[in-house]
């Protein structure tokens, strides 16, 4: 599953390597990427990718094998992705913000053949993780391993420091390489692996094909108007699909990517001004920091929707007309539903290359207005998780990609995201999704936070318990009164079997990994009896 | 090759049936198609397609089998294509302008399981072809047949008259059908067959997949701005990809298709006025006929580029900004190169999902400025020709789709179409393409028409002969003088080995099937010695 089947090239094959080949011919002198003082035209990028592919092949990176990027945003990451595409290999840009323990897990799990790593800023953590990995690798017996023929790959991976200016560094190797001509690669094979979906405490590597990436970028070209005139500031991390999908869309269109190693407002503003960036990956806190710089930089080249106070005066505001991204996830190479300005809907509409369904646990579509699991079919769906055949099979049961998220089809045909699926409560024959009940509780003015769990019930299998942090600002009713009000509130908003039978009040919800710790709630309040994989 | 491999549905599958499903949910009440007095919303179209799929399945149309459309433009043709997509079957819209002999060939060659036919206007020819087919079918021994298990399918095909108002007609069958739910279909399998490419006097059925069609329509959505607000008048024949590609792009976008059975200016103008059509398939003679109607109809809803005298006052002219289609062919589901207004180039640039190469006969790319065969890789490439395994293999050698057309890469990276490949002349080790030499000859003011053939040559294998119809308007030089001038002209424009060694003058070139009859020229002037498949 993780390797493209070998075979003769087909006349249908079109991938990222072909995109690069065409740009190098049709816009050879346009700037493709800017990174610090480095600037590559499309023809120069093509030459560098050819050289890198030769270096990686000579270091043993075979089709289907993993190439790790242990570094920050850089033009060389983009080169590594194109080189992987040309070789039929898989690039995995690793989250460099992780702890040594987390890095070690990824290094072990990914089984890379080659690692491109960075010394600046993150070299110590990388070195620590590497030592541990080597130690683990020689002693372990890994029963989760699928491909036993390649045991030991991690320990024997070739490490290349991309920011080493010496004779063993990336640039020296490129300069000495004997580039070979690009051969066609089956675009249905994986080319990108992103760790995500830590269902059970450890992340899983989602494998995305070239076809998946190009389906996503084509959708962005079409719906979000990405074009050859875009100068995109890569101000979000490239190990996350949120930024990377636009990086690739801009490259697909023949536009320009400007790299930013890490988000610092002053540096970001300088780059926008110097490179006349037209777009950037911007979240609200960053926009507020840019406003706080007090107009010292010319950001007028940025075309954005309206922003926080002071923002609209700094940039070129584009009102109304733009499509907005809706629901998406790493396993879908990005976004699959969009709000269309000319067609206002409650939720998002599927893009032109995807179909979305709302399924019950048996794989049967639920009715309009009912909550079920969002499921997707389309060329942007991942090939599966690296080394997780059972999890992969579970995600694609009934011929659909199961997102693990709850959604609802609205009467206008659009799709609303409700919340993560997590554990499901089963009350008699009925399915109760905690996220849906929690959303209802949070709409009550007396609630600050809410979590819903299931208690074992001799008669009904399970009954619904709401754990609530009361809102500080409300007049303080008796807990009993508030509990009754909340149950009544849910009775009005939800089907009867979904409403809580009991409400417990707490000062704070226990958390883990940034979210509510449901296991702790189960332990404290006696939750249990969940059906399915729980 | 002509049948999708059976297997469980995959989470990557997305096809025309899914497009219809989504439109029926997200724009159920928008009008999808108008045909005479018939009008279907997207939800109504979905219901009718479900019913038709049930009818066709009950008549024995299995996955991979052919459904013939022997009729003119009609909303039922679109229904048949969506039904074929839902069933994994292949719709073949037949050229109804063909002779009885030609229709009989297609009926026999296509081996249909079900035929949808039309009595109005073309019923007699269809009936005559059908009788002959039945006779041929029971007696023949067809050695070109690939699938011997299905011999006799033609004779036993189910015939349904689509314009029969009685109890056996299309509408009665639909009304009585028990629709079944749509199941996912592998979009890599063929869904459309169009006869084209009569290399050896008989056409071949090009099989196009759902992925190919959706790649083409996505490209049109992106580059030609097809959108949900388009009302497209289907005023070209739907058995030709030139019209059908836009029909499908409009359907993909959720726009509206208006059907016109045959091109009559008065009827066309009435429809544009009544349906407020925004686009139509229009060739210059038709535009001139519409101008000749003298402004009796309101055509202002049409958005077109500037046209012939009188045209621009009738319609809403769109100047400059639109992308223009360039090179294409049926085997590519339409067009693969485009001229981009913001980026003027000599030739066309490949669309975002195709790569184009110019190859020599050994499959090696030729240099910039040199002529070779245009070759394409991308998801829009056909699956092959029905029942022509050898021809299919020849078309996809070296992993490229060979177009059978000559082209040249210009210094600006764009691609120019030179002419059909046809026979190639081999002079020593050099390849001479007649179309290239002919194009050079036609640029000389003394030439009205020109054809180039190869004569056997003991020393060089072949030598180049130009057969020329002199221009009537030029001063009449001695033939010897003009011949010398033409040879000298070609010497200046072409490599030395390409210039004609001899020139013969004729009053007219022999023709066949609307083109030059090269076999007749070979016979008359002693042509021969062509390399390869000739």
What distance in Å separates the CA atoms of residue B272 and residue B280, rounded to the nearest whole number?
8
Closest alpha carbon to B336 in A389, A14, A460: A14
CA distances from B347 to A4, B327, B372, B491 (A): 35, 9, 15, 24
The mean predicted confidence, pLDDT, of chain B is 88
pLDDT digits (tens, 9 = 90+) for A84-133: 999 999 999 999 988 888 899 999 999 999 999 999 999 999 999 887 55
pLDDT score of B149 more than 60: no
What distance in Å separates the CA atoms of residue B525 and residue B510, rounded to the nearest whole number?
12
Would you call B352 and A12 a contact, using CB atoms and an 8 Å cutoff?
Answer: no
Pick from B21, B355, B409: which is nearest to A355 by CB? B21
Q: How confident is the model at residue A146 (pLDDT cuts 50, 70, 90)?
A: very low
pLDDT digits (tens, 9 = 90+) for A233-267: 999 999 999 999 999 999 999 999 999 998 899 99
Would you call A12 and B378 a contact, using CB atoms and an 8 Å cutoff?
Answer: yes
What distance in Å separates the CA atoms of residue A369 and residue A418, rounded to the nearest whole number?
11
For residue A8, list chain B residues with Cβ-Cβ distance below 8 A.
399
Mutation for B interface: A12, A329, A339, most B CBs within 10 A: A12
The minimum CA-CA distance between A24 and chain B, rounded to whole Å, is 9
Helices (H), B350-433: 389-395
pLDDT digits (tens, 9 = 90+) for B472-517: 865 667 778 899 999 999 988 887 888 999 999 999 999 887 788 8
What distance in Å separates the CA atoms of residue A280 and residue A263, rounded to the nearest whole number?
11
Q: How confident is the model at residue B151 (pLDDT cuts 50, 70, 90)?
A: very low
For residue A409, list chain B residues with Cβ-Cβ distance below 8 A.
25
What distance in Å separates the CA atoms of residue A184 and residue B375, rounded to the nearest whole number?
14
Lowest mean pLDDT among A344-353, A420-429, B285-294, B416-425: A420-429
Would you call A13 and B349 a contact, using CB atoms and an 8 Å cutoff?
Answer: no
For residue A378, list chain B residues with Cβ-Cβ distance below 8 A.
11-12, 14, 18
Pick from B18, B352, B401: which is nearest to A252 by CB? B352
B354 to chain A: nearest residue by CA?
A14
For residue B188, list chain A residues with Cβ-Cβ distance below 8 A.
12
Q: How confident is the model at residue A141 (pLDDT cuts 50, 70, 90)?
A: very low
Asked whether B118 and B169 are in contact (CB, 8 A), the reply is no
What distance in Å separates the CA atoms of residue B294 and residue B265, rounded to the nearest whole number?
12
A378 reaches B (C-beta below 8 A): yes
What distance in Å separates the CA atoms of residue A112 and residue A66, rounded to the nearest whole number?
5
B214 reaches A (C-beta below 8 A): yes
pLDDT digits (tens, 9 = 90+) for A195-223: 987 665 578 999 999 999 999 999 999 99
Q: What pLDDT sits at residue B97?
A: 85
State mean pLDDT over B122-150.
Answer: 56
pLDDT score of A5 more than 70: no
Q: What pLDDT sits at residue A318?
A: 86
Pick from A26, A222, A378: which is nearest to B221 by CB? A222
The minimum CA-CA distance between A517 and chain B, rounded to whole Å, is 32
Mutation for B interface: A7, A14, A350, most B CBs within 10 A: A14
CA distances from B223 to A231, A339, A411, B38 (A): 20, 21, 33, 31
B525 reaches A (C-beta below 8 A): no
The angle subtended at Cα B400 by Cα B399 and Cα B401, nearest 5°, is 130
What distance in Å separates the CA atoms of residue B163 and residue B97, rounded to the nearest whole number?
18
Which DSSP category does B365 fall into? Answer: B
DSSP symbols for B106-138: HHHHH-EEEEEE--TTTHHHHHHHHHHHHHHHH
Pick from B14, B218, B252: which is nearest to A355 by CB? B14
State mean pLDDT over A318-340.
Answer: 85
CA distances from B86 to A131, A191, A401, B54, B179 (A): 55, 31, 20, 10, 12
pLDDT digits (tens, 9 = 90+) for A12-42: 999 999 999 999 999 999 999 999 999 999 9
pLDDT digits (tens, 9 = 90+) for A345-389: 889 999 999 999 999 999 999 999 999 999 999 999 999 999 999
Asked whether A397 and A409 are in contact (CB, 8 A), the reply is no
Asked whether B52 and B182 are in contact (CB, 8 A), the reply is no
A399 reaches B (C-beta below 8 A): yes
A397 reaches B (C-beta below 8 A): no
Q: What pLDDT sits at residue A515?
A: 80
Lowest mean pLDDT among A402-406, A423-427, B456-460: A423-427
The angle subtended at Cα B44 by Cα B43 and Cα B45, nearest 5°, is 90
What distance in Å separates the CA atoms of residue B85 and residue B104, rounded to the nearest whole number?
26
B190 reaches A (C-beta below 8 A): no
Would you call B11 and A399 a contact, using CB atoms and an 8 Å cutoff?
Answer: yes
Mutation for B interface: A11, A17, A43, most B CBs within 10 A: A11
For residue B10, list chain A residues with Cβ-Cβ distance below 8 A.
377, 396, 399
Pick from B11, B27, B212: which is nearest to A400 by CB? B11
At A63 the three-state DSSP class reads coil
B400 to chain A: nearest residue by CA?
A11
Pick from B14, B342, B376: which is nearest to A353 by CB? B14
Q: How confident is the model at residue A474 (pLDDT cuts 50, 70, 90)?
A: low
């Amino acid at each position: 599953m993780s390797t493209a089947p070998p075979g003769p090239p087909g006349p249908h094959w079109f991938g990222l390597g072909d995109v690069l080949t065409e740009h190098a011919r049709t816009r050879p002198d346009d700037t493709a990427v800017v990174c610090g003082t480095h600037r590559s035209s499309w023809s120069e990028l093509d030459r560098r990718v050819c050289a890198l592919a030769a270096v990686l092949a000579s270091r043993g990176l075979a089709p289907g094998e993993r190439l790790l990027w242990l570094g920050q945003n850089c033009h060389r990451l983009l080169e590594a992705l194109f080189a992987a595409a040309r070789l039929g290999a898989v690039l995995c840009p690793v989250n460099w913000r992780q702890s040594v323990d987390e890095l070690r897990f990824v290094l072990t799990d990914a089984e890379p053949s080659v690692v491109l790593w960075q010394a600046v800023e993150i070299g110590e953590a990388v070195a620590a993780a590497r030592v541990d990995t080597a130690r683990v690798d020689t002693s372990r017996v890994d029963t989760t391993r699928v491909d036993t023929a390649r045991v030991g790959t991690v320990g024997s991976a070739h490490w290349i420091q991309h920011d080493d200016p010496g004779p063993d560094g990336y640039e020296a190797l490129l300069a000495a390489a004997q580039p070979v001509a690009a051969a066609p690669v089956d675009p249905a094979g994986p080319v990108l692996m992103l760790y995500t979906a830590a269902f059970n405490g450890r992340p899983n590597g989602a494998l995305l094909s070239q076809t998946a990436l190009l389906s996503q970028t084509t959708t962005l070209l079409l719906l979000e108007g990405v074009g050859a005139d875009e100068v995109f500031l890569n101000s979000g991390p490239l190990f996350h699909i949120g930024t990377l999908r636009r990086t690739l869309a801009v490259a697909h269109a023949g536009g320009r990517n400007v790299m930013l190693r890490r988000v610092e407002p002053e540096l970001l503003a300088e780059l926008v001004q110097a490179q006349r960036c037209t777009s950037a990956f911007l979240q609200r806190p960053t926009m507020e920091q840019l406003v706080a710089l007090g107009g010292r930089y010319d950001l007028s080249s940025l075309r954005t929707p309206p922003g926080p106070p002071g923002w609209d005066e700094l940039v070129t505001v584009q009102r109304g007309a733009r499509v907005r991204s809706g629901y998406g996830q790493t396993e879908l190479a990005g976004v699959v539903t969009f709000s269309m300005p000319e067609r206002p809907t409650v939720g998002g509409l599927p893009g032109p290359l995807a179909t979305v369904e709302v399924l019950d646990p048996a794989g049967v579509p639920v009715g309009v207005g009912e909550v079920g699991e969002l499921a997707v079919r389309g060329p942007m769906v991942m090939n599966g998780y690296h080394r997780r055949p059972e999890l992969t099979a579970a995600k694609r049961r009934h011929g659909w990609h199961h997102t693990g998220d709850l959604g609802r089809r609205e009467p206008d045909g659009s799709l609303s995201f409700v919340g993560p699926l997590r554990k499901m409560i089963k009350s008699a024959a009925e399915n109760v999704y905690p996220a849906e009940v929690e959303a209802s509780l949070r709409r009550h003015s007396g609630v600050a936070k809410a979590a819903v769990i299931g208690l074992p019930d001799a008669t009904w299998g399970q009954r619904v318990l709401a754990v609530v942090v009361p809102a500080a600002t409300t007049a303080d009713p008796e807990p009993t009164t508030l509990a009754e009000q909340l149950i009544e509130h849910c009775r009005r908003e939800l089907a009867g079997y979904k409403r809580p039978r009991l409400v417990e009040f707490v000062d704070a919800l226990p958390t883990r990994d940034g979210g509510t710790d449901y296991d702790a709630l189960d332990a404290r309040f006696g939750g249990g009896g969940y059906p399915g994989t729980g």
